[in-house]
């Protein structure tokens, strides 16, 4: 038998079992299971006592084993048979391995017995061969039962299969349960000294492969690697083979191949190399594998390979960072790899190495610092990587580094600067991780050792100024001492140089000691105690400022004894600490100013369309509040507007993403809360202002919460108050406001003590907001409202009175709009005898003159109409009383038309800034707070008359607009009563016919009511004989139409506003005064008036659309208004009217497109919103695109080319449909035909280059349009645009891409460009020759006496130019005047006319030649 078995040949023969020859083969398929079992048992019996007998026994014994393995897939081979066979193989291998180890390890083993282990060579080979064959068969599924599932497949369900075959456990073979025993036997065999038995490397490799190859085969099954015991067993087999049997090169090749073809091998192979390094002290294989990986190259579109190798490198760096660090110079080559997963892997490895270096206590500190610095420089470079995934990986890597004990102070400022720059990254994920990194930098900042963790700029600036002043004193003393030592007292210039040297030394010391700041900072508490004074905080970053050079006094002026005493107290250690502290404060100020500079960008991210960005930005401001950043309040106020966000669900997934490697890149655990934006905002405000805090009693908690609520109203704009109102309403509805806090707010509002006005105003503002959710908040305290807000305090504080009126409006119930068609009205109405109305009338009529009166009166009228049963009666009385006040004594026209002084112009502007809130105009900032300077005494009477008239006019206009709403409520009430009556009668009637007739009658009655109310509105309110408002309509129109007579700006603003309100009441009144309104819009110099008119025109368009539609071009004129507020309001009104279909677009979109590039961000953002929404309408943007291009490219309204390109680039992003693009290509090509200027050519070609050219038809349209633009291709920019279009068409991945046509088109473009350039050169050559001919003709002498040349048009032009240069003579003597003037310029004998003309031409040509 020994002569027949050859391991290498047998292993090769296993590749095809059908051809494998067994000398005494057993016919397994034809035998029964019992027969096979008997044959196996007899074979086992023959070798059971002596495993070596397999070599010497008859060949049938070995052949039985081989036959069973060859037909292991046969159903005759059951689980018990395979189990028996495996047992004999394992026990025999173990026996031989123990025998060899016994021989090698025995003390009596002599050199002459060196061949003794050779006895076991062939038995080991035979049993190892059988074991490999068995493992291969088992992996194919040998031993599975008929009703079971194959126990070993690559599906990864080995353990489950065991449970599925409990019923047939006696006949099935569970391979996964046997694998640990097999691997254990391999470990024992691989302990033998193979070099003693196999003398040639090929034999040894064949034997070792019987164990290694099955191990790799087992590892290919991912489910086995999830079993810790099997995984470690496989690792150990490979490690033993590498360490003791020369398998290093084979393992290296196998690892590289496995990483290339099996993605799940990435981390297991790294673990294998780590175990080999740590447990077997063998690093050579790891180094060789890393060298191989470093030489790998990957294509940019290769996904699987780079992903597998990147995971491997990262895992190996985690487990064995020192091994990877040695090969890092080679691995850094992958930073330039085209495959971004490899760049990401190197970035993460750099982070792991920095972590290992910073945590390690071994090695030279200076050397480690250099390495860390170099690694950080590599990370900084990757901030500019072209791939967003790599940039995100850099950010996440640094986030992990921030959690380390080391703070890396040298790199921290640069990291912060680059992170802030990344906030403007074009990729959402990069911006989100940049915010996370900023949060982490803020949370882990190193400036909390001396003064706690707060980062208030003013406080740190004060500390820095103090320490700088102390160091200045020290430097002055040292300078004087140095001057005395060298005897330089009298030379002032040398004093200055000495001071400069000292300053430079101080700066050098600061730089050298920068690294010691962190270590020494804990010992500086004594310095902190010296800084109790007050400094002046500066808002900007404080860098190292040069010392101010002062002229030093001479020695005779110094107190020598004082200086010596001061010198004796100077402590070098204290000075050293002072310098370190100064550096510490300087670094802190730099970091704080960096964060402060990032606040505006973060505020923009709060309104991002990406939800996760918004959540992260909110988290930053929440953290910044805790660290007391000065500008944090801006972000928290901006955040408040997110209360209007409509979250479709109450929860959102945590902001984690998966990178292109398939690994989750993680997110913030705090900002990644599972709540939506709105819910997160409420939680954020609660935690910052409205939640209880520890260490305060109940009363203090209530005071704190009430104080925070009131402070939210300080300096708040109208938009901020509106958002705060929604927040308070939501919190109150959810039970988030304790009633003790409400009582405290009432206490602040009702107190008789003198408290700041803003505090009392804030209390009633918050109470009015809370009452939106619970009406009981104000219903129980109406007396307080009347006593305080409409009483003495309200008379002297009209802002308080205004918000008191708003709070009173909550008595009526919900202010939400009633659904269309609903007849129910749940609002509460009060009788007119109620003291509320008496107080309201009193404060309207008797409150002092103030800019705040108009906004207060507006809310007071609103309250009357909302709560009163008969508001028209009370308002009529108010109007009559105000009329009596205005006309109570006769006063001259000058009283009402007096021109106000400059002080009153500001005041009246502020007055009607409040009025603008009626129709939604935006008042200028600080309009409520800017009070006018009192006018001189002699003008006060005139101003009072104008102001009273303005009050009357304002009340008339607002009552008119509110009365329309009231009439609608009356109409609804009539309909409700009719509906109830009809229902009662219908219930009484039994017959269906009668019921139907009654419904018809009820419907007719409702129509009659609607017509009646419409008639009252149209004909009675402003034109009725008994209507009070009809008296004032002509008066208001007269004031508006007489600007020279009524010059008071306050009166004109009120009159214009009232006129627009009256125009909303009646179509007849509107039609008769519409032209007047447009005339005022065109001629008024007051931006408040123009802004109010623009907003009112929007309301008029809603009421009487046809009138505005016919005059819409006048409305567009506001887009070119010099005032930004008017411009913004015009754009806002047009956006509303166009998007809601109230006016038609008639080619004026070009002016709105100009707003896209406006300097005011509010206007440009609104314009972008308009075009974004317009693009969702059916073809609206497409239909007007040609007009926009024409408007911006040619004519008097055209813009510069850069602006045109930026505007068109934005608009063309909405052209997405292929049919639209094809049509636009055709139309733009036709525009070339009529384009005469090169500017137009460039603009049209640029627009063409913006189209996607995804379809074949688009390119065909472009090629068909070639005759229109072929003569323009010589222009460089035009040709470049068409080249870009060609490249874009080729880059498209369409299946039907016309490659042949594209090549032909490219050739045609090049040909026509060359032809155009030739024509251009020919034209230039002809022009040059013509000029040369003219010069020659001019130099040729003229023959005299030929007579006078006929006067040509050119001669006439010359004469006209001469006439313009001379004094204007009579028309008839023009020629003579020219003749008289000529002798003064020319020689006495006058030349013929032709000769004179030639001289002019000659001089022009000579000038041109000189210019050339």
Residue 57 Ramachandran class (φ > 0 left, ψ -120 to 50 alpha, else beta): beta
Cα 1181 to Cα 1149: distance, rounded to the nearest angstrom: 9
Q: How far apart are CA 162 and CA 370, in angstroms?
A: 57
- Model confidence pLDDT, tens digit, residues 169-180: 445 667 888 888
Residue 1169 has pLDDT above 60, yes or no: yes
Q: Which residue has the tokens 């819009």?
A: 1081
Quote the pTM value.
Answer: 0.74
pLDDT value, residue 843: 92
In this predicted structure, the answer to whether residue 543 has a pLDDT above a threshold of 90 is no
Judged against a pLDDT cut of 90, whether residue 1295 lies above it is answered with no
Distances (CA, A) of 30 to 26, 27, 71, 1075: 9, 6, 11, 111
Among 563-572, 778-787, 1117-1126, which is the least confidently predicted range? 563-572
CA distances to 264, 294, 341, 511 from 256, rounded to whole Å, are 13, 12, 17, 49
Task: Report the pLDDT averaged over residues 7-28.
Answer: 71
HSE-CB of 1362 using CA atoms within 13 angstroms: 17
Asked if residue 726 has pLDDT above 50, the reply is yes
The pLDDT confidence band at residue 106, using thresholds 50, 70 and 90, is low
Where residue 119 falls among pLDDT bands split at 50, 70, 90? low
624-638, 1323-1337, 1362-1376: which is most confident: 624-638
Distances in Å between the Cα of 1098 and the Cα atoms of 956, 1065, 1095 are: 21, 14, 5
Residues 1263-1267, mean pLDDT to the nearest whole number:
87
Residue 641, CB-side half-sphere exposure with 13 Å CA sphere: 16
Query: CB 401: neighbour CB atoms within 10 A?
Result: 26
Average pLDDT, the chain: 77
Q: What is the pLDDT of residue 871?
A: 92
- For position 181, what pLDDT does the model report? 86
Which pLDDT score, from 0 to 100, does residue 591 have? 93
pLDDT of residue 18: 67
Q: How big is the CA angle at 481 (ends 475 and 487), to the nearest 5 degrees?
A: 130
pLDDT at 854 over 80: yes
Span of 947-951, 1194-1198, 1339-1343 with lowest mean pLDDT:
1339-1343
Smallest CA-to-CA distance from 950 within 861, 880, 1053 is with 1053
- Whole-number pLDDT of residue 433: 95
Q: Report the pLDDT value the prediction gives residue 491, as an integer from 0 to 100.
A: 46
Determine the average pLDDT of the residues in 433-446.
93
3-7, 435-439, 709-713, 1211-1215: lowest mean pLDDT where? 3-7
Q: What is the mean pLDDT of residues 866-877?
A: 91
The more confidently predicted of residues 455 and 154 is: 455
Contact 621, 642 (CB under 8 A): no
Helices (H), ranges, 926-1066: 937-988, 992-1015, 1029-1041, 1049-1063
pLDDT in tens, 1142-1158: 888 877 888 899 999 99
Q: What is the pLDDT of residue 212?
A: 86
CA-CA-CA-CA torsion for 1021, 1024, 1030, 1034, nearest 10 degrees? 120
Q: How would residue 842 be classed by pLDDT, with cut points 50, 70 and 90?
A: very high
What does the alpha-carbon distance between residue 275 and residue 167 come to, in Å, rounded to a whole number? 41
Phi and psi at 321, nearest 5°, equal -65, -30
Q: Which of 27-36, 392-401, 1093-1102 has the lowest mean pLDDT?
A: 27-36
- CA atoms of 165 and 175, how far apart (whole Å): 13
Pick the closest to residue 44 from 63, 23, 61 (CA basis).
61
Residue-wise pLDDT for 669-697, tens only, equals 443 445 789 999 999 999 999 988 888 88
What SS3 string covers 1160-1188?
A: CHHHHHHHHHHHHHHCCCCCHHHHHHHHH
HSE-up of residue 314 (Cα within 13 Å, Cβ side): 21
Q: 1142-1146 — which CB contacts under 8 Å span 24+ positions?
A: 1142/1101, 1142/1102, 1142/1105, 1142/1108, 1142/1109, 1143/1101, 1143/1105, 1143/1108, 1143/1109, 1143/1112, 1143/1115, 1144/1109, 1144/1112, 1145/1180, 1145/1184, 1146/1112, 1146/1113
- 763 versus 74: the higher-pLDDT residue is 763
pLDDT of amino acid 967? 87
pLDDT tens for each residue of 1011-1034: 777 777 777 777 878 888 888 999
Q: How far, in Å, CA of 125 to CA of 116, rounded?
A: 16
Confidence of residue 1128 (pLDDT cuts 50, 70, 90): very high
pLDDT in tens, 481-498: 787 777 654 444 444 444
Q: What is the pLDDT of residues 324-337, one digit of tens each?
A: 998 889 988 888 88
CB 483 within 8 A of CB 563: no
Where is average pLDDT lowest: 615-619, 662-666, 1381-1385? 1381-1385
- pLDDT, residue 1096, reads 93
3-class SS string, 1099-1158: HHHHHCHHHHHHCHHHHHHHHHCCCHHHHHHHHHHHHHHHHCCCCCCCCCHHHHHHHHHC
How far apart CA 1286 and CA 1274 sit, in angstroms, is 17
> 25 versus 449: which is more confidently predicted?
449
Q: Tell me, what's the pLDDT at 244?
A: 84
Specify the pLDDT at position 49: 66
Q: What percent of the chain has pLDDT over 90?
A: 28
Of 462, 451, 442, nearest in space to 591 by CA: 442
pLDDT higher for 217 or 878? 878
Task: Determine what percent of the chain falls in helix, strand and coil, rounding each to the nearest 5.
Answer: 70, 0, 30
Beta partners for residue 664, in sequence order: 658
- What is the pLDDT at residue 766? 95
549 has a pLDDT exceeding 70: no
pLDDT at 368 over 70: yes
pLDDT at 664: 42
Q: The tokens of 958 are what?
A: 């607002």
Q: Tell me what pLDDT residue 824 has.
A: 56
pLDDT at 1061 over 90: yes
pLDDT value, residue 943: 57
Is the pLDDT reported for residue 88 higher than 70?
Answer: yes
Which region holds residue 665: left if phi is over 0, alpha if psi is between -120 and 50, else beta? alpha
Bigger pLDDT: 91 or 399?
399
Query: For residue 662, what pLDDT is reported?
Result: 43
Say if residue 155's pLDDT is above 60. Answer: no
**Rounded-to-integer distance, Cα 632 and Cα 595, Å:** 10
Q: DSSP labels for 24-51? A: T---GGGS-HHHHHHHHHHHHHHHSS-T
Q: Quick one: tokens of 1330?
A: 């013509």
pLDDT band of residue 635 (cuts 50, 70, 90) is very high
Higher pLDDT, 1236 or 152: 1236
Mean pLDDT of 33-56: 71
Mean pLDDT of the 850-869 span: 92
Cα–Cα distances in angstroms (integers) from residue 452 to residues 446, 463, 633, 865, in the given order: 10, 13, 21, 57
Q: What would the two tokens of residue 31 be?
A: 């035998």
Cβ 1262 vs Cβ 1225: under 8 Å: yes
Q: Give me the percent of the chain exceeding a pLDDT of 70.
A: 74
More confident residue, 923 or 841: 841
CA distance 1361 to 1392: 19
Lookup: tokens for 160: 């489950």
């Amino acid at each position: 038998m020994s002569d027949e078995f050859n391991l290498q040949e047998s292993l090769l023969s296993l590749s095809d079992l059908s051809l494998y020859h067994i000398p005494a083969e057993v016919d397994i398929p034809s035998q029964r299971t019992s027969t096979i079992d008997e044959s196996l048992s007899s074979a086992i019996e023959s070798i059971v006592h002596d495993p070596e007998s397999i070599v010497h026994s008859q060949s049938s014994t070995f052949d039985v084993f081989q036959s069973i393995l060859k037909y292991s897939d046969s159903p005759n081979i059951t689980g018990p048979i395979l189990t028996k066979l495996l047992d004999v193989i394992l026990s025999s291998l173990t026996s031989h391995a123990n025998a060899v180890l016994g021989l090698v390890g025995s003390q009596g083993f002599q050199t002459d017995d060196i061949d003794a282990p050779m006895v076991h060579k062939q038995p080991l080979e035979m049993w190892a061969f059988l074991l490999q064959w068995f493992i291969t068969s088992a992996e194919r599924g040998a031993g599975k039962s008929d009703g079971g599932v194959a126990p070993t497949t690559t599906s990864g369900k080995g353990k489950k299969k065991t449970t599925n075959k409990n019923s047939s456990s006696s006949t099935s073979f569970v391979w996964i349960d046997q694998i640990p025993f097999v691997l254990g036997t391999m470990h024992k065999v691989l302990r033998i000294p193979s070099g003693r038995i196999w003398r040639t490397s090929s034999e040894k490799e064949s034997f070792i492969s019987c164990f290694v190859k099955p191990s790799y085969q087992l590892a290919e099954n991912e489910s086995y690697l999830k079993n810790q015991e099997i995984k470690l067993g496989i690792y150990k087999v490979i490690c033993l083979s590498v360490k003791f049997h020369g398998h290093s090169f084979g393992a290296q090749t196998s690892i590289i191949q496995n990483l290339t073809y099996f993605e799940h091998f990435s981390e297991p192979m790294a673990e294998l190399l780590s175990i080999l390094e740590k447990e077997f002290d063998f690093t050579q294989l790891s180094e060789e594998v890393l060298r191989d990986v470093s030489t790998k190259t990957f294509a940019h579109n290769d996904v699987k390979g780079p992903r597998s190798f990147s995971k491997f490198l990262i895992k190996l760096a985690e487990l064995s960072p020192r091994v990877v660090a040695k090969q890092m110079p080679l691995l850094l080559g992958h930073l330039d790899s085209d495959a971004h997963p490899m760049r990401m892997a190197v970035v993460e490895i750099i982070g792991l190495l920095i972590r290992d270096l910073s945590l390690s206590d071994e090695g030279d500190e200076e050397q480690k610092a250099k390495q860390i610095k170099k690694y950080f420089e590599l990370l900084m470079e990757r901030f500019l990587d072209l791939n967003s995934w790599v940039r995100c990986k850099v950010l996440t890597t640094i986030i992990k580094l921030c959690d380390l004990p080391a703070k890396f102070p040298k790199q921290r400022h640069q990291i912060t600067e680059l992170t802030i720059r990344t906030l403007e990254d074009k990729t959402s994920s990069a911006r989100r991780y940049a915010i996370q990194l900023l949060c982490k930098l803020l949370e882990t900042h190193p400036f909390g050792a001396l003064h706690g963790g707060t980062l208030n700029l003013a406080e740190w600036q004060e500390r820095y100024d103090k320490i700088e002043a102390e160091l200045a004193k020290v430097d002055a003393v040292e300078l004087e001492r140095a001057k005395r030592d060298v005897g330089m007292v009298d030379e002032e210039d040398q004093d200055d140089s000495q001071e400069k040297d000292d300053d430079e030394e101080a700066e050098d010391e600061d730089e050298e000691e920068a690294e010691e700041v962190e270590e020494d900072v804990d010992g500086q508490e004594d310095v902190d105690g010296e800084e109790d004074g007050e400094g002046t905080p500066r808002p900007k970053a404080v860098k190292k400022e040069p010392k101010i050079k002062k002229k030093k006094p001479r020695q005779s002026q110094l107190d020598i004894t004082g200086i010596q005493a001061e010198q004796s107290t100077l402590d070098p250690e204290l000075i050293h600490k002072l310098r370190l502290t100064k550096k510490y404060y300087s670094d802190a100020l730099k970091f704080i100013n960096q964060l402060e500079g990032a606040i505006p960008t973060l505020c923009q991210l709060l309104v991002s369309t990406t939800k996760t960005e918004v959540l992260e930005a909110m988290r930053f401001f929440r953290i910044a509040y805790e660290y007391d950043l000065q500008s944090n309040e801006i972000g928290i106020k901006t955040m408040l507007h997110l209360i209007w966000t409509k979250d479709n669900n109450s929860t959102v997934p945590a902001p984690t993403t998966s990178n292109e490697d398939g690994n989750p890149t993680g997110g913030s655990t705090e900002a990644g809360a599972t709540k939506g934006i709105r819910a997160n905002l409420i939680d954020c405000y609660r935690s910052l202002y409205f939640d209880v805090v520890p260490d305060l009693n109940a009363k203090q908690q209530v005071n704190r919460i009430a104080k925070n609520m009131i402070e939210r109203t300080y300096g708040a704009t109208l938009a901020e108050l509106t958002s705060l109102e929604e927040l308070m309403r939501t919190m109150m509805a959810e039970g988030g406001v304790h009633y003790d806090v409400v009582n405290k707010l009432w206490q602040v509002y009702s107190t008789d003590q003198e408290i700041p006005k803003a505090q009392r105003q804030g209390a009633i503002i918050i109470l009015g907001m809370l009452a939106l959710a619970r009406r009981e908040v104000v219903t129980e305290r109406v007396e307080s409202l009347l006593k305080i807000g409409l009483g003495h305090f309200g008379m002297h504080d009209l802002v308080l009175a205004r918000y008191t009126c708003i709070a009173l409006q909550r008595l009526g119930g919900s202010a939400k709009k009633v659904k269309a068609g609903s007849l129910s009205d749940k609002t509460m109405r009060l009788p007119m005898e109620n003291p509320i109305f008496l107080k309201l009338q009193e404060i309207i009529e008797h409150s002092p003159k103030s800019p705040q009166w108009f906004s207060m009166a507006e809310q007071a009228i609103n309250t009357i109409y909302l709560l009163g049963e008969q508001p028209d009666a009370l308002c009529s009385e108010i109007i009559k009383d105000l009329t009596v006040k205005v006309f109570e004594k006769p006063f001259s026209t000058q009283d009402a038309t007096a021109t106000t002084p400059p002080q009153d112009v500001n005041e009246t502007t502020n007055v009607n800034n409040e009025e603008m809130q009626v129709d939604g105009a935006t008042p200028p900032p600080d309009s409520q707070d800017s009070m006018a300077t009192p006018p001189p005494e002699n003008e006060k009477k005139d101003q009072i008359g104008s102001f009273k008239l303005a009050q009357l006019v304002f009340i008339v206009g607002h009552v008119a607009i509110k009365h329309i709403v009231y009439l609608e409520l009356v109409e609804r009430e009539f309909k409700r009563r009719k509906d109830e009556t009809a229902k009662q009668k219908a219930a009484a009637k039994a017959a269906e016919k009668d019921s139907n007739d009654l419904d018809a009658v009820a419907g007719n009655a409702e129509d009659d009511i609607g017509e009646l109310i419409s008639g009252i509105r149209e004909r009675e309110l402003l034109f009725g004989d008994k209507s009070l408002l009809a008296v004032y309509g002509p008066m208001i129109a007269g004031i508006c139409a007489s600007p020279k007579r009524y010059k008071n700006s306050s009166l004109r603003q009120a009159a214009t506003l009232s006129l627009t309100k009256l125009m909303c009441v009646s179509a007849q009144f509107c039609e008769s005064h519409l032209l007047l309104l447009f005339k005022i819009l065109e001629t008024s110099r007051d931006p408040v008036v123009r802004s109010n008119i623009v907003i009112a025109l929007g309301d008029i368009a809603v009421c009487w659309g046809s009138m505005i539609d016919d005059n819409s071009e006048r409305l567009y004129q506001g887009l070119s208004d010099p005032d930004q507020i008017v411009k913004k309001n015009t754009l806002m009104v047009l956006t509303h009217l166009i998007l809601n279909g109230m006016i038609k677009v008639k080619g004026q979109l070009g002016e709105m497109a100009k707003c896209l590039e406006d300097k005011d961000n509010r206007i440009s953002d609104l314009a972008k919103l308009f075009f974004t929404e317009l693009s969702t309408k059916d073809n609206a943007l497409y239909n007007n695109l040609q007009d926009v291009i024409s408007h911006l490219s040619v004519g008097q309204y055209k813009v510069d080319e850069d602006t045109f390109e930026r505007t068109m680039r934005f608009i063309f992003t909405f052209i997405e449909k292929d049919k639209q693009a094809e049509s636009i290509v055709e139309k733009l090509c036709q525009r070339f035909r009529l384009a005469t200027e090169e500017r137009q050519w460039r603009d049209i070609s640029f627009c063409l280059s913006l189209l996607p050219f995804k379809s074949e038809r688009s390119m065909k349209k472009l090629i068909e349009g070639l005759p229109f633009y072929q003569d323009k291709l010589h222009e460089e920019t035009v040709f470049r645009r068409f080249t870009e279009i060609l490249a874009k068409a080729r880059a498209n991945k369409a299946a039907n891409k016309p490659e042949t046509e594209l090549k032909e088109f490219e050739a045609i473009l090049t040909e026509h460009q060359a032809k155009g350039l030739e024509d251009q050169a020919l034209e230039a050559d002809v022009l040059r020759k013509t000029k040369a001919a003219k010069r020659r003709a001019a130099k040729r002498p003229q023959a005299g006496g030929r007579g006078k040349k006929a006067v040509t048009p050119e001669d006439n032009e010359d004469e006209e130019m001469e006439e313009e240069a001379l004094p204007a003579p009579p028309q008839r003597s023009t020629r003579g005047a020219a003749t008289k003037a000529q002798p003064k310029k020319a020689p006495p004998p006058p030349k013929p006319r032709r000769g004179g003309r030639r001289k002019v031409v000659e001089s022009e040509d000579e000038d041109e030649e000189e210019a050339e």
